[in-house]
Amino acid sequence: MPPSTEVAPRSHDGYSDAGSAALSVSNAMGDRLVVDLLRSTGALAFRPTPWGAWLVGTAAHPLGGDRLKIEVTAGEGCQLDVRSLSATVARRGPIRPRQSAMIVKAQVSDYATLRWATEPGVAASGADHRSETELLVSNTARIAWRDEFVLGRFGEDPGTWRSRMSVIVDRTPVLISELAAGPAAAGWTSSAVLAGARAVCSMTIVDPNAHAATAVEFVEGTSVRGTALPLTGAGVQFSAWGDRLAECRHLVAKLMAQVPDLSWATGGPYQW
């Protein structure tokens, strides 16, 4: 079913709901994913595949003032992969500078696995974008969540990207993180934040068996820096920041390789 193009009126908080997408899958057919819920409106849509789903942008959003919403549920015992066809480019609004937002909420049930590896967000010049992610995870589930952004397209001044992630495992917060970078984010060029880096890659792993990462590790190269941060409970967040996204991805992969038994996190179709 094609997504609706109906545009909702501006809400009381000043945003226009520019699009939403919801996907829920189960293992009702044994080892084959069954789509229980597939819903999309406006600028977003999911396209199911045998291994998971593509997240597709059906319009040039978000613009300043837009809000996009995504909901994903992996049912008990499922293995779900989510990828995207292109980067999410946040642009300034047509009338006056206003913030845009993307709200993502994922639920991962008992013994399920969710691998989220969409393409990066890009804060185009003049943009002010807010990304919020909430992960609700069973204590027997696994999740590998890649989150990336780049400040500015090639050859242009950076926009602003604000990222917030919360990971709740069995009703217990194991990670609450916030990061703001770009011209509208105070102090982002200091060494305490990103030291002016324009690309960030992070991979958040929740795995009942990932107990090997027990200490914070910091790595510094000529043009990229990275950390491996153990989470409360079983999990770890790998992050890298620098001038080029490709270098950040490479460093994250290098840090992940030092923790045993994480090959599942980057496997499957269309490995990154």
pLDDT tens-place string over residues 166-207: 999 999 999 999 999 999 998 898 988 898 899 999 999 999
State how far Cα 260 lies from the chain centre: 23
Residue 111: CB partners within 8 Å, gap ≥ 6?
A: 76, 77, 138, 140, 141
* Whole-number pLDDT of residue 233: 78
Q: Contacts from 210-217 at CB under 8 Å and sequence distance 24+?
A: 210/234, 210/235, 210/236, 210/259, 210/261, 210/262, 212/259, 212/260, 212/261, 213/259, 217/255, 217/258
Q: Is the pLDDT of residue 104 over 90?
A: yes
Find, among 148, 136, 155, 242, the residue nearest to 194 by Cα.
242
Q: How many CB atoms lie within 10 A of CB 185?
A: 18
Q: Is the pLDDT of residue 4 over 50?
A: no
| pLDDT tens for each residue of 229-272 | 998 878 899 999 999 999 999 999 999 988 888 889 987 654 55
Least confident of 7-21, 42-56, 231-245: 7-21
Mean pLDDT over the full length of the chain: 88
Domain ranges in the chain are 18-189
* Whole-number pLDDT of residue 5: 38
* Whole-number pLDDT of residue 250: 94
* Whole-number pLDDT of residue 8: 43
Rounded mean pLDDT of 66-78?
96
- Specify which residues 128 forms β-bridges with: 160
Rounded to whole angstroms, how far apart are CA atoms 126 and 118?
A: 23
**The dihedral sign for the CA sequence 172, 161, 249, 197:** negative
51-75 burial, b at 16+ Cβ within 10 Å, e below that, comes to ebbbbbbbeebbbbbbbbbbbbbbb
* Whole-number pLDDT of residue 96: 63
